[in-house]
Structure 1
Amino acid sequence: MPAPLPTGPLVTRASLAWDLRALGVRTGETLLVHSSLSSLGWVNGGQIAVVQALLDALGETGTLVVPTESGDLSDPATWSDPPVPEEWCETVRATMPVYDPRTTPTRSVGVIPETVRSWPGALRSAHPLTSFAALGPRAAEIVQGHVAECRLGERSPLGRLEERGARVLMLGTGYGTCTCFHLAEYRVPHRTEDAGRPGPAGWEHVTEVAVSADRFDELGAAFERDVAVVLGRVGAAQARLFPLGDAVSYAEKWLPAHRPCH
């Protein structure tokens, strides 16, 4: 039997750019985007068209930022998706490739961030686990200075985005992916952990804030209830648009009350 026809909707670069502008994306702004390609419908041109549409909506003076995490460059003893046999761990640590912002692929953040990472002119921050990539005139100032002992805190691109009044755009993703909530974790009582990863001189042990997206969906629902969040559709996807600083400030109050020292 022939394969069934796609149900759509049919989405193009132009229609996505129109939807983004209708939602409220502004020319010249700095935008942190979390995305799901499959949520948008049948996109003619796939992830390339989505990135082009985002750049069209932002214009030449806007800056696009995405998370480009590479969580596989971490201690294999902590892996669960999927795990590896315990007897492999020593060899995996010893042979794990060192992070290279130019070539290390993303993991578990979707094909749109991976496309931005490899886009001509894209810049990427230096953290081996929780990097961000950026395109646009503010890219360098956002990704620079991402220190090894600060995954998602003040000295990460999240801190720079907050300082510059960036907004967050969520395309078909839930608040469980809302990276900026992690910035609040650094400002409330928290635990620390050994964040081991490969380095130029061998395996590194770095003490870091223990971050977790546990209950972020609940946090996001409360934030959306209490703070003005722009809701709409981009293609077939549910889209949300809001100031990053508002989300961080709300999380700073919510987390100690609902998830103390997770």
Structure 2
Amino acid sequence: MDQARPHTVQSISADLRALGVDAGDVLILHSSNRSLGFVAGGIEALVHALLATLGADGTLVVPTHTPHNTDPAGWQHPPVPEPWWPVIREQTPGFDPSRTPSRWMGAVPEVVRTWPGARRSTHPQFSFAALGADAAEIVAGHRLDDGLGEHSPLGAVYRRDGKVLLLGCGYDSNTSLHLAEWRQPSSPRAATGSSVRQPDGTSHWTTWVDIVTDESDFVRLGDDFEATGAATIGRVGNATARLMSQRALVDFATTWMAAHRHTEGAASPDRN
């Protein structure tokens, strides 16, 4: 360990302010907790630092997606036998914002999701959790057929001119780029499904049609965005951090995708 002393709530908050995170911001966070180095108090301390920096008028937003609650017919990593598919659809507990854990989002979103006062959107695949002044409004009205579009928390953050913080991770984790994908008139659509908890406590397999996600060009897109000088790069703890206007990012990505994308290479909507 090459740190002279442990990072703390106070030092992480100072790093965030130096990077450009301001009181009152609406901030979407993507993070690799390990990249920070040793922080006294661990993940809890990081969340305390983020909330202290944003202040009472700010809002912290994290993705709490549940890719395990998708149609098993599309699973690839690994696939499951076809005879299992109806069992999985019938027996998977229905998505419940208050109970269902996220998966593959990292440790920080799970801490935010379970933090006192956190609000979570109701989408069974692409939910987000939020803490702070605008949390309830940001997660409200998340439509099934607009998982990462205008009627998702991403669209709500865009309308509030929020910021994106990549903390020790890259553009392949930058969920806001999907909002640009949803704005492409040529983006392919497909049927998908999830188990959803009903008001009586039972689970019901629900299907709908939405955009097919494709992150395969996000790193190249991010490199081109950074080349414009629109991202601020610095250090938070030991991590390389990137801070940017979500609106500037999404507007750039919307134009970039229209110029560079070819729909024949789109990825599957259900990836496990």
TM-score for both structures, normalised by structure 2: 0.91
Q: Alignment partner for residue 179 of structure 2, among 179, 183, 187? A: 183
What is the CA distance between 1:225 and its match in structure 2?
0.3
Higher RCO (CA-CA < 8 Å; seq separation 6+): 2
Q: Which SS does the other structure have where 1:194 is aligned?
A: strand
Q: Who is 2:93 aligned against?
A: 97
Task: Name structure 1 gaps, 5 residues minimum.
Answer: 1-5
What per-residue deviation string (whole Å, max 9, x for no partner) do you get for residues 160-213 of structure 1? Answer: 100001010110010001111101111111100111111346322211111111
What per-residue deviation string (whole Å, max 9, x for no partner) do you get for residues 17-69 of structure 1? Answer: 11101111101111011111011111221111110110011111111111111
Q: Alignment partner for residue 18 of structure 2, among 22, 25, 29? A: 22
Deviation >3 Å, runs of 4+ = 6-9
Residues in 2 aligned to 1:187 and 1:130: alpha-carbon distance in whole angstroms: 17
Structure 1 counterpart of 2:252, one-letter code: Y
Residues in 2 aligned to 1:77 and 1:11: alpha-carbon distance in whole angstroms: 45
Q: Who is 2:32 aligned against?
A: 36
Q: Who is 1:72 aligned against?
A: 68
Equivalent pairs, count: 257
Residues in 1 aligned to 2:96 and 2:139: alpha-carbon distance in whole angstroms: 14
Q: Who is 1:148 aligned against?
A: 144
Q: Who is 2:270 aligned against?
A: none
What is the CA distance between 1:148 and its match in structure 2?
1.2
Task: Name structure 2 gaps, 5 residues minimum.
Answer: 267-272
Q: How does 1:79-118 map to 2 (within 5 A)?
A: 79-118=75-114
Q: Which SS does the other structure have where 1:115 is aligned?
A: helix
Q: Which SS does the other structure have where 1:170 is aligned?
A: strand
CA RMSD of aligned residues (A): 1.3
Query: Does 2:48 match 1:52?
Result: yes
Residues in 2 aligned to 1:212 and 1:101: alpha-carbon distance in whole angstroms: 25
What per-residue deviation string (whole Å, max 9, x for no partner) do you get for residues 130-184 of structure 1? Answer: 0111100111110001011111001101111000010101100100011111011
Q: Alignment partner for residue 193 of structure 2, among 187, 196, 205? A: 196
What is the CA distance between 1:77 and its match in structure 2?
1.8
**Change beyond 3 A, Cα 1:7–1:79:** farther
Q: Who is 1:254 aligned against?
A: 256
Q: Alignment partner for residue 241 of structure 2, among 235, 239, 242? A: 239
Q: Alignment partner for residue 121 of structure 2, among 119, 122, 125? A: 125
